Amino acid sequence: MSIWDYANPKRFMQTSGAILPWIAVGSVICLTSGLIWGFFFTPDAEKFGSTVKIIYLHVPSAMLAISAWMMMLVASLIWLIRRHHVSALSAKAAAPIGLTFTVIGLVTGAIWGQPMWGTWWAWDPRLTSFLILGLFYLGYIALWQAIEDPDTAADLTSILCIVGSVFAFLSRYAVLFWNQGLHQGASLSLDKKENVSDVYWFPLLICITGFVLLFVSLVLVRTRSEIRKRRLQAIITRERFA
């Protein structure tokens, strides 16, 4: 059995229907326990006070906002190269989720920035590229809505996705090669000195797992809806010409 078998909508619906409840339950368990642990049972940080608790929302949502675009990039490339409809529909399904995570990242970042940096917003390389990524999400969703023919829409949105990947990449790595701006380096690192302290790291890891599982669950739910919508459209078109 190859991974391409899942490009068959029927096979995709069967498999996703079977695994979806497990992933959704895992997401609820991880998000609830991670957020409760982080919010109620971690101490204030010396430099940041209680605002350190925002890390449990900001870091996972920002990571997922970028990762969602990368997932859309892979799905778009599969569409462009192999013309599998499920991949194009999964990219379409992921966009509103990625946009929501981007908005959460921007809002929590602004709320954290006000007391820590003294400003809600700064034209810092990482923040700016992240904002542009959010605008690419809006453009991507608008482009899908604007084009009636689904295959043409999938083609054009795939191209947009490839272009937008530059900003997804910049959002992730801007702090490494642009040695300016307010945003600090990565909160999670293999380097013990850079990494957040263990007392924050474990609940953060659970929150990240919860956000990843939530993303996968929602992508599956929305891709299943897109497949059904496509089938519904086919039936309606057939009825019109009958």
Binding-residue pattern over the window 54 to 73 for other proteins, x denoting contact by CB under 8 A: x--xx--x------------
Transcribe the chain into DSSP letters. --GGGGGSHHHHHHHHHHHHHHHHHHHHHHHHHHHHHHHHHSPPBTTTBGGGGGHHHHHHHHHHHHHHHHHHHHHHHHHHHH--HHHHHHHHHHHHHHHHHHHHHHHHHHHHHHHHHSSS----HHHHHHHHHHHHHHHHHHHHHH-SSHHHHHHHHHHHHHHHHHHHHHHHHHHHH---SS--S-SS-SSTTTSPPHHHHHHHHHHHHHHHHHHHHHHHHHHHHHHHHHHHHHHHHHHHH-
State which of residues 111, 132, 153, 162 lies at the interface with other proteins (CB under 8 A): 111
State which of residues 79, 112, 137, 200 lies at the interface with other proteins (CB under 8 A): 112
Q: Is residue 194 a contact point for other proteins (CB under 8 A)?
A: no
Q: Which is nearer to other proteins, 111 or 196 (CB)?
A: 111
Q: Is residue 187 a contact point for other proteins (CB under 8 A)?
A: no
Tell me the HSE value of 182 on the side-chain side, using a 13 A CA sphere. Answer: 16
Q: Is residue 115 a contact point for other proteins (CB under 8 A)?
A: yes
Distance CA 183, CA 188 (A): 14
CB of 161 to other proteins, least distance (A): 20
Residues 80-109 binding other proteins (CB under 8 A) are 96-97, 100, 103-104, 107-108
Q: Is residue 21 a contact point for other proteins (CB under 8 A)?
A: no
Instruction: Name the segment binding other proteins (CB under 8 A); options: 131-139, 156-164, 197-205, 218-226.
Output: 218-226
Q: Is residue 158 a contact point for other proteins (CB under 8 A)?
A: no
Q: Is residue 3 a contact point for other proteins (CB under 8 A)?
A: no
Instruction: Name the segment binding other proteins (CB under 8 A); options: 6-14, 53-61, 138-146, 192-200.
Output: 53-61
Residues of this chain that interact with other proteins (CB under 8 A) are 35, 39-40, 44, 49-51, 53-54, 57-58, 61, 96-97, 100, 103-104, 107-108, 111-112, 114-115, 214, 218, 221-222, 224-225, 228-229, 231-232, 235-236, 238-239, 242
